[in-house]
Amino acid sequence: MTTFALNLPKLTLSGVGAVAESVAVLDTKGVQKPLIVTDKNLIELGVLTSLYEALDAKGFEYVTFDQVTPNPTAALVREGVSFYQENGCDGFIAVGGGSPIDCAKAIRIMVSNEGDICDYAGVGLVKNDGEFFIAINTTAGTAAEMTSNSVITDEENQVKMVLVDPKQIPDVSVNDPSLMVGLPASVTAATGMDALTHAIESIVTPGAHRLTLPTALEAVRLISKWLPIAVKDGQNIEARANLADAQFLAGMSFNSAGLGAVHALAHQPGATHNLAHGVCNAILLPIVSEFNAQQVPAPFRLVAEAMGGDTHNLNDEQAAELAVSLIKRLSKEVKIPSGFAELGIEESDISNWVQKALNDVCMGGNPRAMDAAQVRELYLASL
């Protein structure tokens, strides 16, 4: 029997007040000058106010690298490494969704390892552990605050690099739903569908395990119930708390079980057209699910049931069809674009994506193998 590895942060803090508690933990770790990695928009919105207040109360010296943009690039990582070293920092606090946290993960790798960030695309290539690292999540979401993955755009080759290594997992993951109140509906929808994709792919992948299935299924249940509520009422703290926990549960699952072709295909339009990752996932999720269900329908029965579908009188194939229809219904309810054409993508863009999708590290976790012609057909169906 093959050994199964479940990789998690050393400490997870969840709930209102978790930010201040994470600073109290930092105060015990000997860190003198942490680098805060975030984006300007979050600072302007006041999202970092509680963090700054907690750091000031403890007498910390700190500096902020606020240059992070959606889909962070290798050049941005190199800039962050220089900033960290020039300011004499000795620890990390990332604040944001997947982009700031992934950027912080990559900067942290390069502070403690040789070479260039592009050398670390792939699985298990990081040699040295990084400095103490707190990841404060502001979306629900990527689960970047607790996973071993980071995604960095290699702008020269127009490809999203996926870096997978347990040494990237933050020491402390923080989900404080008070930071998520007021998140725009479009961002709430996109990040929620990203989390749903994480959960579903980790259910249907061959890497699924009895240690990951319960958390993935609970994530699907919570997202199906609470995402429409949070999209309609961004101030609903109960919805925010449930979605924060849901995306964390999905992260617990896919971080060990793996992902699949939805992510492999979604990374490509995100790299070439700078599209929101969650939107790309949401568009592709029902299309790839339908493709996979032709070969492995049984896991999609679990998905349908977790989304509230009645499968008692259905065979596996029919239950899988129900799962796909429920995914489409949820996506439409939270106003995800119906296809890439709405986002300016044309058929001519697809040829540049096919081989890169096949080479993506996530493709290895898909339950059904596919060739270039099938990848192209899936992309065409997503327009």
pLDDT higher than 90, residue 182: no
Give the percent of the chain with pLDDT over 70.
Answer: 100
The Cα–Cα gap between 131 and 137 comes to 19
The per-residue pLDDT for range 231-281, each reduced to its tens digit, is: 999 999 999 999 999 999 999 999 999 999 999 999 999 999 999 999 999
Please say whether the beta carbons of 331 and 170 come within 8 A: no
Looking at residue 363, what is its pLDDT?
98
Quote the tokens at residue 368: 């059904």
Give the percent of the chain with pLDDT over 90.
Answer: 97
Give, as one character, the DSSP assignment of residue 210: T
The Cα–Cα gap between 203 and 209 comes to 8
Return the closest-CA partner of residue 72 out of 187, 165, 154, 163. 154
The per-residue pLDDT for range 17-55, each reduced to its tens digit, is: 999 999 999 999 999 999 999 999 999 999 999 999 999
CATH number corresponding to 11-179: 3.40.50.1970
Handedness of CA 255, 103, 244, 307 (dihedral sign): negative
Looking at residue 1, what is its pLDDT?
59
The Cα–Cα gap between 222 and 69 comes to 29
In the chain, what's the furthest Cα-to-Cα distance?
65
The Cα–Cα gap between 176 and 181 comes to 10
Q: Which CATH superfamily is domain 185-381 in?
A: Dehydroquinate synthase-like - alpha domain (1.20.1090.10)
**Reduced to 3 states, what is the DSSP secondary structure of residue 173?**
strand
The Cα–Cα gap between 280 and 300 comes to 21
Asked if the domains 11-179 and 185-381 are classified in one and the same CATH topology, the answer is no
The per-residue pLDDT for range 93-139, each reduced to its tens digit, is: 999 999 999 999 999 999 999 999 999 999 999 999 999 999 999 99
Quote the tokens at residue 250: 């999905």
Quote the tokens at residue 322: 């129900």
The Cα–Cα gap between 258 and 206 comes to 9
- Tell me phi and psi for residue 207, to 5 degrees: -80, 0
Please say whether the beta carbons of 53 and 284 come within 8 A: no
The per-residue pLDDT for range 281-324, each reduced to its tens digit, is: 999 999 999 999 999 999 999 999 999 999 999 999 999 999 99
Tell me how far apart the terminal alpha carbons of the chain are, to the nearest angstrom.
43
pLDDT higher than 80, residue 2: no
Q: Tell me the whole-structure pTM to 2 decimals.
A: 0.95
The runs of H, that is alpha helices, within the chain are: 18-26, 40-44, 49-57, 74-86, 98-112, 185-204, 213-232, 237-257, 261-273, 277-293, 298-306, 316-333, 347-350, 354-359, 372-381
Cβ neighbour number for residue 294 with a 10 Å cutoff: 10
The Cα–Cα gap between 271 and 367 comes to 24
Could you identify the residue written with the tokens 């790798």? 109
Domain ranges of the chain: 11-179, 185-381
Mean pLDDT, all residues of the chain: 96
